[in-house]
Copies of this chain bind each other. A is one copy, B any other.
Amino acid sequence: MASIRVALGERSYSIEVGAGLIDDPAVYAPHLAGHRAALVTNTVIGPIYGDRVASALRKAGVEVIEVVLPDGEEHKTWPTLNLVFNALLAAHCDRQTTIVALGGGVVGDVAGFAAAVYQRGVPFIQVPTSLLAQVDSSVGGKTAINHPLGKNMVGAFHQPQVVIADVITLETLPMRELRAGLAEVIKHGIIRDPVFFAWIEAHIDRLLARDVDALTHAVVRSCQIKAEVVAADERESGLRAILNFGHTFGHAIESGLGYGQWVHGEAVAAGMVMAADLSARAGMLPKAESERIRSLIARAGLPVAGPASLAPDRYLDLMAVDKKAARGNIRFILLDKPGSAVLRGDLPEAMVRQTLAACSAA
């Protein structure tokens, strides 16, 4: 088991990565605040791992209330959030109740946001079961629901007590979700660690074959990188924005197509190709490096172009409301060399349009 510390002062916590952790009461016990835990999962993950986690929690000494949410990004909404509140209030749960989020990014975001605002905040534990959630969404304390006018527009920063990332749960992950998670793994190499990027290039086939050792290394190194960045900038006022590499374009794709058409990692994959292309066009990154990124994303089986149905004007409209846009300017995270990302808000619209034209499906 590897343990990665996220250093955030009194809100510090650790990410435990290993195989078989979800069944071990000792992994949960130090992080349970009161006598009750609300296990929040969904209709896909609940039947597979729900009983195992509930059993471990009971052995750790708490009463367990189970809340099963509908599955899918389209349910990352207020009515789903309210299902958690309904269950907690019906069971008279007080502020000492620990919420345990068991599932992928949507469960983590909804359950985490529920924990942030139920009775103005209760403790919670993340048990991410998708690669995307293990390497990205469960780390850093971002929680949110979507709004019809934008993704993640309503949410909170609420740090968990602990993240328990069990790579065994990746065995049951659909292939499409595995690839989507690899998009964020690749992103961590691109923005922060050329050695890790090269390691992914060398191990992409083993990762796709779900080799446990390869996946464990990918999760550990990704979490280390994300933890470093989050520790330096918890509230995303500066450095943390680099984690959004590929996301300004990616969010526009997700939002423009309607949530659920492309999964997040796919949209981010195409968005990273666009951001690398834009970096090269702006003269910041050698063309060969942008091609290397494109090539690895293609080998991971991820999209390297935006959908044909999304016009450049639609991208520009959608990116204008993106939450990383300050005072109306569209800001992009670009690369000034491999392993180094910077925030740029001064790219000419014509250049952005060239990238959109070059990186969209015919």
Residues of the B chain whose Cβ atoms lie less than 8 Å from the Cβ of A150 = 89
Q: Return chain B residues, CB-CB under 8 Å to A96.
A: 326-327
- Complex Cα distance, B144 from A19, in Å, reads 40
When all copies of this chain in the complex are counted, the total is 2
The answer, yes or no, to whether A156 is at the interface (CB within 8 Å) is: yes
Asked if A119 is an interface residue, CB under 8 A from chain B, the answer is: yes
Asked if A117 meets B147 with Cβ closer than 8 Å, knowing A96-B327, A325-B94, the reply is no
| Distance between Cα atoms of A169 and B137 in the complex (Å) | 46
Are A156 and B85 within 8 A (Cβ)? no
Residues of B within 8 A of A35 (CB): 327
Known contacts A95-B323, A326-B94, A326-B96; is-contact A144 B120 (Cβ 8 Å): yes
A35 to B85, CA, bound (A): 36
> Which B residues lie within 8 Å of A328 (CB)?
92, 94
Chain B residues within an 8 Å CB radius of A120: 142-144, 152, 155-157, 236
Query: By the criterion CB–CB under 8 Å, are B153 and A121 in contact?
Result: no
Tell me the dominant secondary structure on chain A's binding face.
mixed
Q: How far is the CA of A116 from the CA of B235 in the complex (A)?
A: 13
Interface residue range, chain A: 35 or more
Q: Does A82 contact B (CB under 8 A)?
A: yes
A86 to chain B, nearest CB (A): 7
**A41 shortest CB reach to chain B, Å:** 21
Q: Is there a chain B Cβ closer than 8 Å to A154's Cβ?
A: yes
A86's nearest neighbour on chain B, judged by CB, is B149
Q: Nearest Cβ distance between residue A216 and chain B, in whole angstroms?
A: 31
**Nearest chain B CB to A158 CB, angstrom units:** 9
> A120-B144, A153-B118 given as contacts; is B89 within 8 A of A78 (CB)?
no
Residues A94 and B323 in contact in the complex (CB < 8 Å), given A78-B82, A142-B120: yes
By a beta-carbon cutoff of 8 Å, the part of chain A in contact with chain B is: 34-35, 78, 82, 85-86, 89-90, 92, 94-96, 113, 116-121, 142-144, 147, 149-150, 152-157, 235-236, 320-321, 323, 325-328
**Given A85-B154, A89-B149, A120-B157, 11 further pairs, Cβ under 8 A:** A78-B78, A89-B147, A89-B153, A89-B321, A94-B326, A116-B156, A120-B142, A120-B144, A120-B156, A121-B157, A121-B235
Considering the complex of A and B, which 7 residue pairs feature the smallest CB-CB distances, nearest first? A89-B149, A120-B155, A119-B323, A92-B321, A117-B154, A94-B326, A120-B157
Listed A/B pairs (24) with beta-carbon separation below 8 Å? A34-B327, A35-B327, A78-B78, A78-B82, A85-B147, A85-B149, A85-B153, A86-B149, A89-B147, A89-B321, A90-B149, A92-B320, A92-B321, A94-B323, A94-B326, A96-B327, A113-B117, A117-B155, A118-B153, A119-B153, A119-B154, A119-B155, A120-B236, A121-B157
